[in-house]
Amino acid sequence: DAEITQSPRHKITETGRQVTLACHQTWNHNNMFWYRQDLGHGLRLIHYSYGVQDTNKGEVSDGYSVSRSNTEDLPLTLESAASSQTSVYFCASSRLAGGHAAYNEQFFGPGTRLTVL
Amino acid sequence: TQLLEQSPQFLSIQEGENLTVYCNSSSVFSSLQWYRQEPGEGPVLLVTVVTGGEVKKLKRLTFQFGDARKDSSLHITAAQPGDTGLYLCAGPLGTASKLTFGTGTRLQVTL
């Protein structure tokens, strides 16, 4: 069965370190997204990609970067981790690149809980 | 500023009770989606509503899209402990494939 996985599931790091969170999907979806989830804020979009070599900034992109070298993977890098980046991170993918958004279901991974000390 | 505001933020009820959660915006959306997220997992799509005034039923869950396409509601009849979770509404940003999510309603159903 197709799926979307994230690793690691839990990560503790120190302020200033570079951290990379992995996201891998076997849906063969063009679209991939990274969100962070914090109490009272729901899901906020960090970065997204509509295909290989395409990346775009979301509403909370400062301090984060992504790269898309193939269809399956969209790793999220925290260049220099800060305590404000302690959060739960979710990766998602969806099939359509444009088209009718009404049918653009997003499939989510299980999340990565990141703690920055 | 959140485009989609959900209320209430938290809801704790007993099994068998009915409840309604709301998703409101000052903006018009071409469609709205509802997701449910269980602890330790990612959100899962429940339904998409696309037409103003539309009502969709999923067993004990009834979803409604406002006539003006600025709001939606989720009504649960005879809630069960399995309904416990975080309910999120989401709408597309323009014609793009990205979504904006609401602030969420955390529901707890106890025996």
Q: For B38-71, how does the pLDDT look when each residue is reduced to its tens digit (9 = 90+)?
A: 989 999 999 999 899 999 999 999 999 999 999 9
Residue A101: DSSP 8-state: G
Residue A83: DSSP 8-state: G
pLDDT digits (tens, 9 = 90+) for A29-40: 999 999 999 987
pLDDT at residue A99, as a whole number: 59
Count chain A–chain B contacts defined by CB atoms under 8 A: 71
Q: Are β-strands A107-108 and A76-78 bridged in parallel, bridged antiparallel, or unpaired? A: unpaired
Chain mean pLDDT for chain A = 93
Helix, strand or coil, per DSSP, at residue B83: helix
Q: Chain B within 8 Å of A40 (Cβ-Cβ)?
A: yes
* Interface residue ranges in chain B relative to chain A, Cβ cutoff 8 Å: 2, 4, 6, 9, 30-31, 33, 40-45, 48, 50, 88, 90, 92, 95-104
The string over A68-87, giving b where at least 16 C-beta atoms fall within 10 Å of a residue's C-beta and e elsewhere, is: beebbebbbebeebeeebbb
Is the model's pLDDT at B37 over the cut of 90?
yes
Mean pLDDT value across residues A10-34: 96
Q: Cα angle at B103 between B56 and A67, to 5 degrees?
A: 100
Chain mean pLDDT for chain B = 93
pLDDT at residue B26, as a whole number: 92
Mean pLDDT value across residues A80-106: 84
Nearest CA in chain A to B104: A42
Instruction: Compare CB distances from A101 to B31, B103, B104 and report the shortest one's residue.
Output: B31
Determine whether the interchain pair B98/A42 forms a contact, defined as Cβ–Cβ distance below 8 Å: no
B99 contacts on A by Cβ (under 8 Å):
45, 101, 104, 106
The CA distance from A29 to A7, in Å, is 19
Tokens of B71: 């709001």
Is the model's pLDDT at A112 over the cut of 70?
yes
Mean pLDDT value across residues B96-109: 90
CA-wise closest residue to A46 among A72, A69, A74, A25: A74
pLDDT digits (tens, 9 = 90+) for B12-32: 999 999 999 999 999 999 889
pLDDT at residue A42, as a whole number: 84
Q: How far off is chain B from A27, nearest CA to CA, in Å?
A: 15
Is the model's pLDDT at A60 over the cut of 60?
yes
Determine whether the interchain pair B96/A101 forms a contact, defined as Cβ–Cβ distance below 8 Å: yes
